[in-house]
Amino acid sequence: MNEKNNKPVVKLISKPENMLKTIYTACRTCYSADSPINIYENATDEEKMLNLIKNVVASGHHSTIEHIQVSFAISNVSRACTHQLVRHRLMSFSQKSQRYVKEKGQFDFIIPPTIEKNPELKTKFIDFMSEISNKYQEFIEAGIPAEDARFVLPNAAASSLVASLNLRELIHLANLRLCTRTQYEIRYMVKEMCRVLIEQEPWLKDYLVPKCDAIGFCDEHKPCGRKITKSELFEKAGI
């Protein structure tokens, strides 16, 4: 573990050259007698493009934003978190293999915040990571292959990966995982993915939000209080 950074590190490594124009062309192709090549070549008015995209996304026609895919390099994320992340089946992943990459010396690990903020528990945690590391190395030295020695490695072990997804799936991911009810690590990671993308494409700011911001109310089983709940909304409306 890098003491200075106990959190996922995210870098945007790839995005399409013509994000806005591509989505705009896709949206207009559905409803226009003009050819997509002409639409694309005549697309210059950025404000007009943004407005059309806003209307199309608001209307629920989300297939039009699948044409954009972005890729992130992610490191310093626990195997607990990656096991959760790779359940998003519309994403593409290339993850560091514990079968092929042997840990040399102390493996990197993530300390959960509830443990980190308690100095005593934190020390206990770090010491135990060191014990696990020793046990791993003992098995390696006894001739056990990395793919089997890793059976002692903990969920806390840090992993890294390249993850790609289209804009529709990214909005879905943000809607789900920016909710305050989400586990802190995946929430922080998704927040970072959104942040580094919005830095380069500021118009995405309004889309990469928790679900309650997108739909106007909270439909969680156990609401956090940030937004009116669905049942409160209906009650207030007298329905």
Q: Within 8-67, which residues bind its own copies (CB under 8 A)?
A: 9, 11, 13-19, 21-22, 25-27, 29-33, 35-37, 39-40, 59-60, 63-64, 66-67
Residue 122 CB contacts under 8 Å (≥ 6 apart), including other chains: 111, 115, 116
When binding is defined by CB under 8 A, the residue of 49, 53, 82, 170 that contacts its own copies is 82
Identify which range of 44-52, 73-81, 191-199, 202-210 contacts its own copies by CB under 8 A. Answer: 73-81
Q: Which is nearer to its own copies, 51 or 118 (CB)?
A: 118
Give the tokens for residue 221. 């089983």
Identify which range of 44-52, 78-86, 189-197, 202-210 contacts its own copies by CB under 8 A. Answer: 78-86
Q: Which long-range contacts (CB under 8 A, 24 or more apart) does 81-90 make?
A: 81/8, 81/110, 81/183, 81/185, 81/186, 81/189, 82/159, 82/161, 83/155, 84/183, 84/186, 85/163, 85/186, 85/189, 88/165, 88/169, 88/173, 90/165, 90/166, 90/169
Supply the angle between the helices 167-177 and 184-200 in degrees, to the nearest 10: 140
Helix (H) / strand (E) element for 160: namely strand 158-166
Q: Which is nearer to its own copies, 59 or 205 (CB)?
A: 59
Alpha-carbon distance of 47 to 33, in angstroms, equals 22
Active-site entry in 28, 150, 177, 187: 177
Residue window 137-156: x/- pattern of binding to its own copies, with contact defined by CB under 8 A: -xx--x-xx-xx-xxxxxxx
Q: Catalytic annotation on 177?
A: yes
Q: Per CB under 8 A, does 188 bind its own copies?
A: no
Q: Per CB under 8 A, does 177 bind its own copies?
A: no
When binding is defined by CB under 8 A, the residue of 3, 44, 202, 221 that contacts its own copies is 221
Beta sheet of 92-95, edge-to-edge order = 9-14, 69-78, 158-166, 92-95
Q: Which is nearer to its own copies, 131 or 206 (CB)?
A: 131
Q: Which is nearer to its own copies, 23 or 194 (CB)?
A: 23
